[in-house]
Amino acid sequence: MRRILPSPADDVDLAHAYAYPGPEWLRLNMVAGADGGAWLKGVSEGLSGKGDRRVFGVLRGLADVVLAGAATVRTEAYGPARPRSSWRELRLGRPPSPPIAVITRRLDLDLASPLFTEAEPHARTIVITTERAPKDRRDEAGRNAEVIVAGDERVDMSIAVASLRERGLGRVLCEGGPRINGQLAAAGLVDELCLTISPVLTGGDAARILNGPASHVPLRLAHLLEEEGFLFCKYTREPR
């Protein structure tokens, strides 16, 4: 993988390129086609490539917690993040893998799936839900996951992120989907966007990487990497 900006280089240390600047930082990581579509045939897998998967792995290894919406967890068949040998140095002084935190208003999840039943004790899955979620579902989720109530009818993203930080999970990696991204941006919580641009046209009804309330978040391009036609953009929020 080569760096195009800020200064050309033929080889890139991804852990250094994507290192968090501080203990509290929220980054979005998304992949999109050249025409802006966030999925192909309903899932993001068709947009990915070898380089994108390497970046994905490094970003997970660097994160304290991986945040995703219920629709993404269902569509992409999420399981727990498994420890990797390549993460040992990235996670010195921390558990060997980050927990998955799922945002779900109604708790319409398969609570018997591996995401809940196979997560290691050090990375117990976190469910972020609402007061209006059925109590029996909250109780069932609590058997295999930590449950956070963040809002009445809808998940309040500010409360959700603050609750993660209270648990020492300040470096948040959000993997979407577009609705969750849109809500985080509208709440002013996004510090960074890592966007892989795949050399493919998607067309169809694919959403953009943000889908929801209007937001205006000025960004600056921190770096631009390239491999096999894929572009890896890292944007950071302009100082407030």
- Over residues 56-72, the pLDDT tens digits come to 999 999 999 999 999 99
Per-residue pLDDT, 238: 87
- How sure is the predictor about 212, in pLDDT bands with cuts at 50, 70 and 90? confident
- Over residues 47-56, the pLDDT tens digits come to 889 999 999 9
Annotated domain spans of the chain:
2-237
* Burial call 49-61: b when 16+ CB within 10 Å, e when fewer: bebbeebbbbbbb
DSSP string of 186-221, one letter each residue? HTT---EEEEEEES----TT---S--SS-----EEE
Per-residue pLDDT, 239: 79
Per-residue pLDDT, 215: 86
Per-residue pLDDT, 48: 87
Q: Higher confidence at residue 40 or residue 145?
A: 145
Rounded CA separation 144/20 (Å): 30
Rg for the chain, CA atoms, rounded: 17
2-237, what's its fold? Answer: Dihydrofolate Reductase, subunit A (3.40.430)
Instruction: Give every CB contact of residue 129 below 8 A, 6+ residues apart in sequence.
Output: 103, 104, 105, 106, 107, 138, 141, 147, 148, 149, 150, 155
Instruction: Give every CB contact of residue 166 below 8 A, 6+ residues apart in sequence.
Output: none
